[in-house]
Amino acid sequence: MKKSLILSTVLASSVFAMSDAELLQSAKDAGLMPLPTTQKAIEAELSKSGVKANVYSKEKAELGKKLYFDPRLSKSSLISCNTCHNLGLGGVDGIPASTGHKWTPNPHHVNAPSVYNAILNTAQFWDGRASDLVDQAKGPLTAEPEMASTPELIESRLKSIPQYVKEFNKIYKDGISFDNAADAIATFERTLITPSRFDKFLNGDLNALSKEEKAGLGVFIDKGCIACHTGAILGGTMQAFEVAGKYEFANVGDFKGDANGMVRTPTLRNVEYTAPYFHNGAIWTLNDAIKAMGSVQLGINISDSEAKSIITFLKSLTGQMPQIIYPILPPSTDETPRPVLDY
């Protein structure tokens, strides 16, 4: 992070006098890069960070899509992955803290991050406790305030459904297992990449962004936002929090980061879709979020006009969402364990 801050200081004096080509080079020098758009490119990008991606196949991704939308993986048979990571709402649920089994609010009051482009996070969860999407997928499935299931219940439900048995046996040598279900879900999530006009700009199309968006990019670099929001998804790495000041809403929930106080930086891709913001969803507008980041992380005041310019740039990060056709899920059978509602 210090390296990025130094770089932003060096760039600050000249960024507004730059030509489009010079702005592009400055963005690249700051570590901004286009999204990888093929599975091979995704794996190559992950390998740079020491993250090993699970094995991809189209068949596995299709199975994972069904599991992603299937509420029968939850104890109640009411909650699916899509409940909190709604693909029609930018991959989030649009509330400060997610609500799970028995209408239970998240006990730590943490906000559900977007699942779009999540494969490119170098750490998963706000505290980075999972290194990859397979491990991450297991958490919500078994967390009591979320889907409240167990590996045994998930395996039992899947094994009771002949179509799932057939599909798992075709893809996995050992057929249905909790680990394989998480692997399939993560494989589907690998496909949720959202390239935008900003990627065209980074790939050399200087006309892909408007004059106003380019100006916003300049402010974004000048102010030092690239210290943490860099890389292909403009985030996704573990960073120190409250570097320069105190977060006004730090007392909302008990989340304090990992053992070292580090917090996973959220991606800025599709950020106009993902309010409310911050780890506890306490800030609802991009304007307020940008100003808070200025004081909390950078120790600077960001004016209304500067925030507006940055927002204009950030909206260029809204990408093309992959078309997801809601799957027709295979029917339950007489052997399928019944929903456990815990009324």
- On whether both 222 and 268 belong to a single domain, the answer is yes
- On whether both 146 and 167 belong to a single domain, the answer is yes
- On whether both 64 and 126 belong to a single domain, the answer is yes
- On whether both 169 and 222 belong to a single domain, the answer is no
Residue 12 lies in a domain: no
**pLDDT tens digits, 173-232:** 999 999 999 999 999 999 999 999 999 999 999 999 999 999 999 999 999 999 999 999
- Residues 286 and 220: beta-carbon distance below 8 Å: no
How many Å apart are CA 50 and CA 72, to the nearest integer?
Answer: 34
Query: Which of 204, 240, 219 has the alpha carbon at shortest distance from 314?
Result: 219
User: Last residue of a domain, which of 147, 174, 190?
Assistant: 190
Please report, for residues 25, 109, 204, the alpha-carbon distance to residue 22 in angstroms, rounded to integers and kept in the order given.
5, 43, 11
Q: Which residues are catalytic?
A: 146
How many Å apart are CA 292 and CA 276, to the nearest integer?
Answer: 13
Task: Please give the pLDDT value at position 20.
Answer: 95
Burial 133-166 (b: 16+ CB within 10 A, else e): bbebbbebbbbebbbbbeeebbbebbbbbeebee
**pLDDT tens digits, 256-266:** 999 999 999 99
Residue 330 lies in a domain: no
Residue 8 lies in a domain: no
**pLDDT band at 53; cut points 50, 70, 90:** confident
Q: What number is the average pLDDT over the span 302-327? A: 97
The answer on whether 108 is annotated among ligand-binding residues is: no
Give the long-range contacts of residues 52-58, CB within 8 A, separation 24 or more: 52/132, 53/119, 53/132, 53/190, 54/132, 54/133, 54/134, 54/183, 54/186, 54/187, 54/190, 55/187, 56/187, 56/190, 57/171, 57/187
The answer on whether 109 is annotated among ligand-binding residues is: no
CATH number at residue 311: 1.10.760.10
- On whether both 51 and 106 belong to a single domain, the answer is yes
- On whether both 180 and 59 belong to a single domain, the answer is yes
- On whether both 178 and 279 belong to a single domain, the answer is no
How many Å apart are CA 340 and CA 343, to the nearest integer?
Answer: 9
User: Last residue of a domain, which of 175, 190, 205?
Assistant: 190
Evaluate if residue 7 carries a pLDDT over 50.
no
Residue 163 lies in a domain: yes
Total tally of structural domains belonging to the chain: 2
Model's pTM, two decimal places? 0.92
103: three-class secondary structure by DSSP: helix
- On whether both 173 and 135 belong to a single domain, the answer is yes
Residue 6 lies in a domain: no
The answer on whether 147 is annotated among ligand-binding residues is: no
Residue 300 lies in a domain: yes
The answer on whether 229 is annotated among ligand-binding residues is: yes
Strands (E) located in 63-220: 99-100, 104-105
For residue 240, what are the β-bridge partners?
A: 262
The answer on whether 293 is annotated among ligand-binding residues is: yes
- On whether both 48 and 180 belong to a single domain, the answer is yes
DSSP 22: H
**pLDDT tens digits, 240-282:** 999 999 999 999 999 999 999 999 999 999 999 999 999 999 9
Task: Please give the pLDDT value at position 342.
Answer: 84
**pLDDT band at 15; cut points 50, 70, 90:** low
Both ends of the chain: CA-CA distance in Å?
A: 49
Evaluate if residue 13 carries a pLDDT over 60.
no
- On whether both 80 and 98 belong to a single domain, the answer is yes
- On whether both 89 and 77 belong to a single domain, the answer is yes
Domain that holds residue 96: 43-190
How many Å apart are CA 177 and CA 134, to the nearest integer?
Answer: 13
DSSP 112: P
Residue 54 lies in a domain: yes
Average pLDDT, rounded, for the chain: 93
- Residues 39 and 106: beta-carbon distance below 8 Å: no
**pLDDT tens digits, 119-172:** 999 999 999 999 899 999 999 999 999 999 999 999 999 999 999 999 999 999
Query: Which of 290, 199, 293 has the alpha carbon at shortest distance from 244?
Result: 293
Residue 331 lies in a domain: no
- On whether both 174 and 237 belong to a single domain, the answer is no
User: Last residue of a domain, which of 155, 175, 190?
Assistant: 190
Q: Which residue has the tokens 């979020």?
A: 289
